[in-house]
Amino acid sequence: MTPAPPAANRAIARELFVSEATVKTHLAHVYDKLGVTDRAAAVAVAYERGILG
């Protein structure tokens, strides 16, 4: 799977009024908790576990 473009993290940071580094840190924690290494896998696992959808 390919990682999300850096623009995605920038857009999230801008929307939440935080730094891009903060977004990356929170994503890393989410990935760790879900046992995944990228955004697409995190979404897939979240759907499997009923967290999304």
Q: pLDDT, tens digit, for every residue of 6-18?
A: 789 999 999 999 9
Check residue 44 and give its pLDDT: 96
Tell me whether residue 34 is in a domain: yes
Domain count for the chain, please give it: 1
Tell me whether residue 1 is in a domain: no
Tell me whether residue 3 is in a domain: no
Two structure tokens written together for 2: 């390919």
d(CA 38, CA 24): 11
Tell me whether residue 49 is in a domain: yes
User: What is the value of pTM for the model shown?
Assistant: 0.81
Tell me whether residue 45 is in a domain: yes
Tell me whether residue 13 is in a domain: no
| Domain extent for 26 | 19-53
Check residue 39 and give its pLDDT: 92
Share of the chain above pLDDT 90, in %: 85
